[in-house]
Structure 1
Amino acid sequence: MQIKEQREKNKAKRLVFSKTTFLFLFSVFYSTIVSAQCAMCRASLESSGDKNKVEAVNDGIVFLMAIPYVLVAVIGFVVYKMYYKKGTPTVSK
């Protein structure tokens, strides 16, 4: 009986984790086109008039912004896997 209760708890935990993971991934990947520039960068790039340079700086800023989120996601996944691998009950027959 105890194993069945533990399975039910694990199933509930996985369901909550999957819902929060889906919500997180949806909010990260569902985005619109963003012009990510500070005021100083925008002023200096607009005065030069080079459209390709402005787009390159925008892409660079977005890339630099995404790296910390990816690192946190990877670390969170590793911690999650270690936690559930350690806490999984073994059933002997």
Structure 2
Amino acid sequence: MKKWYLLLLAGILTVISGPLMAQCSLCTKTAQQLGEGPAKGLNNGILMLALTPLAIIGFLAFRWWKSNQEA
């Protein structure tokens, strides 16, 4: 039951982290030239691309932790 609360908390934090800025200096300059609407889309795309490897690493770390806990 406790892990469901942690998953729910992680999901909520992911959803409310929308206003985060995830752009390097080159992407920021490009986004400024595109305008506000496409800049938000670019920022969201960067965040989504960053989320996938972090989720994979988190899953592998969780599996490693669980396998070491049982031994």
TM category, shorter: 0.5 to 0.7
For the pair 1:84 / 2:69, whether they are aligned, the reply is yes
TM-score normalised per structure 1: 0.50
TM-score normalised per structure 2: 0.61
For the pair 1:66 / 2:51, whether they are aligned, the reply is yes
Displacement of 1:62 in angstroms is 0.9
Q: Which runs of 5+ in 2 are unaligned?
A: none
In structure 2, the CA distance between the partners of 1:48 and 1:72, relative to structure 1 (3 Å rule), is closer
Q: Which has the higher contact order (CA 8 A, sep 6+)?
A: 2
In structure 2, the CA distance between the partners of 1:83 and 1:46, relative to structure 1 (3 Å rule), is same
Match of 2:21 in 1: 35
Q: Which runs of 5+ in 1 are unaligned?
A: 1-17, 88-93
Superposition RMSD on alpha carbons, in Å? 2.5
Displacement of 1:54 in angstroms is 0.7
